[in-house]
Structure 1
Amino acid sequence: MSINIGIRAHDVSEHTFKHLFSVTANYGFNNVQFAPFKFLPKELIANSSRYSPGLLNDIDQKFRHAGVRISVLGNYVNMIDYENSIRNKNLQSYYDSLVAERFLHAAVVGSETGSILSPNGYSPHNFTNTALLRVIDSVKQITKTAEKLGALFAIEPGINHPLYDNYAVRRVLDAVNSPNLFVIFDLANLISKNNYKDQDTILTEAARLYGSRICTFHLKDVDFMDGKKVTVPFGSGIIDVERYIDFINKLKPYTFATFEATKENDLDNAISVFRKADKQATTRIKALQ
């Protein structure tokens, strides 16, 4: 197996470190995507202002003891909120998370780009040039801090957000032009009822336009029910798993990739589907060596 698979921490059934690490140990996961505000009790950390060196060190020691790496430190707050007071507060959360990245030895701080509406609601205004310029402005501010700290920041595309296709991603990367800016790639996020048959085109475009900037991947699946896109456990939807895993292996062998929105009772099947596709992909790769 040439991909380091993991899980999103807040997808486990019990939000305690004891239970999380029992799941990682049981399945042999060596990394997790960890969003503190979604996993830890609100009484402990409702927002980034509650971070302290002592708290972060305590969390870091728990991960080290379990032998688990934080592949993505999630900070999913809206960086382009129309209300500037909210937007500025959220930008501060990114700065705080970049500091936390260093304490927690996380690989990268990751986030979607958010929505013009609050909180993160769908809006056709997300697909305007104005929205994309707002993303560029926010990402420039975040990466400026990342560069000062020696930290890494990654944006995640999605069809309901300003980074709704591969070309929008490339535009942001070019405009920000920071060595500390990367991309979290999730094929399911870029799928719609209009393009789900064109998955190979989406992957080929991504590799050509910004493949070198992808730092980690999500393993998620989707389907369409009553005309609406819904998230389903990995391997049970319309994602071409074999093609996706082959894409990951060729582009970034040994990368971190985390199951997303796959609950514990669906992990056995998801891992079985992944391993079958990964075995086929690595066999093809070895044949080329």
Structure 2
Amino acid sequence: MNIGMRAHDIEKRPLPELVEELGNKGLACVQFALAKSLDVPSHHGALSPGFGRYVKNAFDTRGIQIAVLGCYFNMIDPDHTERRKGMDRFKEHLRYARDFGCSIVATETGNVHSKMGYTTDNFDEEPFQEVVRSVREMVAEAEKFGVIVGIEAGVNHPVHTVEKMKRLLDEVDSQNLQVVFDPMNLMTLENHQEQEKVFEEAMEAFGHRIAIFHAKDFKVEDGVLSTAPVGTGLMNYDWLFGWLKANKPYINIIMEETVEPYIDDSLAFLKNKYEQA
């Protein structure tokens, strides 16, 4: 099992201490977001091959792969100045990803409003077409450097369903575009009791394009669906890990939104589920 977590789900600290803490948990990989994990400049123009190599070497001391560079931004921000800042920073991550020992830079698909949050305005056709235009620009840069744009769907974004993810993959015709699959991000009050049906549809539509798997969990209380520490909620990991073992051996499984004091128990839960699948 190739399991890891988001580095910023550990409290921010100097890089050697962060690597030591993650290594002590027996992790094989991380999703690494520079600005969220380190107190170092990470604005557009701050990256260099030397910095990438410094970070990679630190993780190498504990045998931890940087599986994903997280560079999440609002790719359809109505403030075009802010959108361009985010786009330029994402493209810079693509250019230097290999220096971090990484081939994937990931993001979600943004929001029609500058203030992020759930809105059904995201579900109209025009926001989706704006996403397509932005992703095409990102993928064109990725193709130059032989790296991958990883796109993550989410119920509060323009790409919020299996069908929308499939459309995005079809409309941006490039293998340098792959999927960061977070099954919890597709769960709603309306579909969570038939989650296996959603998973089956996703695997049929784009299972072959999944490059990274995100492990989260969810609960439903008082008519509200929300995240929960992995292993304490309703996510059917028997189904998910059964599919992964059969179809995606050694895929990077990145636990996210599980923080202390739950991390060790959640990692043990995932390892046990994977062994039994």
The answer to whether the superposition gives a TM-score over 0.5 is yes
Q: CA deviation at 1:14?
A: 4.1
Query: In 2, distance between residues paired with 1:198 and 1:265?
Result: 30
Paired AA for residue 72 in structure 2:
Y
Q: 2:2 aligns with which of 4, 10, 17?
A: 4
Instruction: Say if 1:243 and 1:125 are closer, same or farther in 2 by CA, change over 3 A.
Output: same
**Aligned twin of 1:155:** 151
Equivalent position SS for 1:154: strand
Query: In 1, distance between residues paired with 2:260 and 2:121?
Result: 37
Q: 1:94 aligns with which of 90, 96, 110?
A: 90
Q: CA deviation at 1:199?
A: 1.1
**Aligned twin of 1:73:** 69
Conserved? CA contact 2:180–2:211, under 8 Å: yes
Where do 1:213-232 residues align within 5 Å?
213-232=209-228
Q: 1:181 aligns with which of 177, 184, 195?
A: 177
Equivalent position SS for 2:261: helix
Query: In 2, distance between residues paired with 1:104 and 1:70?
Result: 7
Equivalent position SS for 1:71: strand
Equivalent position SS for 1:49: coil
**How far does the alpha carbon of each residue in 1:196-253 deviate from its partner, in whole angstroms, 9 at most, with x for none?**
1111111111111011100010111111233333221101111112122212222211
Q: TM-score, normalised by structure 2?
A: 0.95
Query: In 1, distance between residues paired with 2:221 and 2:254?
Result: 25
Unpaired runs of at least 5, structure 2: none
Aligned residues: CA RMSD: 1.4
2:245 maps to 1:249: yes
Query: In 2, distance between residues paired with 1:49 and 1:220?
Result: 33
Equivalent position SS for 1:50: coil
Count residues in correspondence: 277
Q: CA deviation at 1:119?
A: 3.5
**Aligned twin of 1:209:** 205
Where do 1:164-179 residues align within 5 Å?
164-179=160-175
Q: 1:263 aligns with which of 248, 259, 272?
A: 259
Conserved? CA contact 2:12–2:37, under 8 Å: no
**Aligned twin of 1:103:** 99
**Aligned twin of 1:31:** 29
Q: 2:116 aligns with which of 120, 145, 154?
A: 120
Paired AA for residue 204 in structure 2:
R
Q: CA deviation at 1:13?
A: 2.7
Paired AA for residue 231 in structure 2:
G
Q: TM-score, normalised by structure 1?
A: 0.91
Q: CA deviation at 1:40?
A: 1.2
Conserved? CA contact 1:13–1:264, under 8 Å: no
Conserved? CA contact 1:24–1:30, under 8 Å: no
Q: CA deviation at 1:46?
A: 4.4
